[in-house]
Structure 1
């Protein structure tokens, strides 16, 4: 489910309306004949809320696994959301013998919607220093957020200094070091090895900000490699983690999914 679809739903005020894994069901979709190694096993998953009522909307993130504890083996499948409270899962029978099918409710649609609403409020505290005098100011890549949620009326537009990446600060001027500008400053005949480590910070904002930054880096990398045949560029994606302090109930998988989607989108011309 896209962000736009997630935000169509109003904030949930009761846990009773949220999907409950313990009340939901999974049924095997019978296949004709004997299941052999390499065959696909299909299941139908029906979600129910905490009151035991069947869900009529989709958006939950579910995962399906085939497990064999005696062999310490696990095979992950795929799950299709039908947007009506039911899901179809499919996993390959990777080995013979007795195995167990496990479905896991990774995130409810309500949790995902809440994350999208909260992410734009993440801010940077920047330090502006001149001589022995320094002051701390608040910065954000979205001007509307600074004005709406933090009531700032005097804002410095640092977009130009930030190589075209939108960046606004409360009155004091603060410039972030941009990867794109550093690439542009590499000489045409320099035998350079460039390592770009894309960290997690911008994913805490609206994903369009992360995608815009990636497109800028892509343009600068392409320009560098075109004019400098000696340069080599290595890109490391953001590492994953078990949890994040501001979203303790959201573990690494949802963030990783967003990273992969936006990196793939940004790689296209």
Structure 2
């Protein structure tokens, strides 16, 4: 269990009314509007993707990488572009993007590495761009971390609820103490203590103990709840043995020779 000391939240007592009671409309603060805008953009970047069978998910082995305008040698500082066409395990080209890809460039001689930039065209193709920082032999790698169906499932599960972690608040008054349930959202008709973070305008709640003020909260303990928002079929997406190879087009992208430009 993890114990957290509480020391800076503003707090107040809050009664929870039945769902049938009217709830006054509250205008969003500038921070809340900004957070809402960011979440909406993330939702657009990770839209729901259908998952019916492993064979229709992205396959690293069947995907094709092509170096655009290939050269025998490159100058330091040049940009190298790779067009990546992702396919499923049946060899069919994917018609949408959203795959979690990792593009890396490394210099074995210098023991140095850097990330590439991945542009998703949302049609099953990606542009992977590297800036060639070093002279000598440079190796490139493209890794499929999660197929788009897996990334979509994780994002949905992440937003589905806050029940994964159990929060318990410790209230101390003199020599007596009591633990009550806490959380970002509480499905309880009991009187609640509200702890507001003025900077982020986010509230955290605890069930108010009898005969103790909200200010008596001193520590928080947490533990994981045995709950998952992924279906058994979705869980299979994250078994590496089932996903097969994660390296994309390992034999299609050779070592790159980089020289000092004039």
Normalised by the size of structure 1, how large is the TM-score? 0.52
Aligned to 1:30, what secondary structure does the other structure show?
A: coil
Shift of 1:88: 0.2
Instruction: Point out the structure with the larger helix share.
Output: 1
Residue of structure 1 in register with 2:5 after alignment: none
Query: Does residue 85 in structure 1 map to residue 142 in structure 2?
Result: no
Is this contact kept in 2: 1:77–1:92, CA < 8 A?
yes
Written as runs of structure 1 = structure 2, the 5 A alignment for 1:132-151 is 132-141=175-184, 143=185, 146-147=186-187
Residue of structure 2 in register with 1:38 after alignment: 77
Is this contact kept in 2: 1:126–1:139, CA < 8 A?
yes
Shift of 1:13: 5.4
Written as runs of structure 1 = structure 2, the 5 A alignment for 1:73-112 is 73-112=112-151
Is this contact kept in 1: 2:50–2:149, CA < 8 A?
yes
Written as runs of structure 1 = structure 2, the 5 A alignment for 1:1-269 is 2-5=41-44, 8-9=47-48, 12=51, 14-30=53-69, 35-119=74-158, 120-121=161-162, 122-123=164-165, 124-141=167-184, 143=185, 146-147=186-187, 152-154=188-190, 156-159=192-195, 163=198, 165-172=202-209
Is this contact kept in 2: 1:46–1:54, CA < 8 A?
yes
Is this contact kept in 2: 1:6–1:109, CA < 8 A?
no
Instruction: Point out the structure with the larger strand share.
Output: 2
For 2:45 and 2:180, the matched residues in 1 are separated by: 33
Shift of 1:20: 2.3
Shift of 1:4: 1.6
Is this contact kept in 2: 1:6–1:112, CA < 8 A?
no
Is this contact kept in 1: 2:46–2:98, CA < 8 A?
no
Using a 3 Å threshold, how does the CA distance of structure 1 residues 2 and 67 change in structure 2: closer, same or farther? same
Higher RCO, Cα 8 Å, sep 6+: 2
The two structures, once aligned, show a CA RMSD in angstroms of 3.4
Shift of 1:50: 3.1
Is this contact kept in 2: 1:126–1:174, CA < 8 A?
no
Uncovered stretches (5+) of structure 1, i.e. residues with no partner: 178-200, 202-247, 250-269
Using a 3 Å threshold, how does the CA distance of structure 1 residues 110 and 129 change in structure 2: closer, same or farther? farther
Normalised by the size of structure 2, how large is the TM-score? 0.53
Q: Number of paired residues?
A: 172
Using a 3 Å threshold, how does the CA distance of structure 1 residues 66 and 155 change in structure 2: closer, same or farther? same
Structure with higher Rg: it is 2
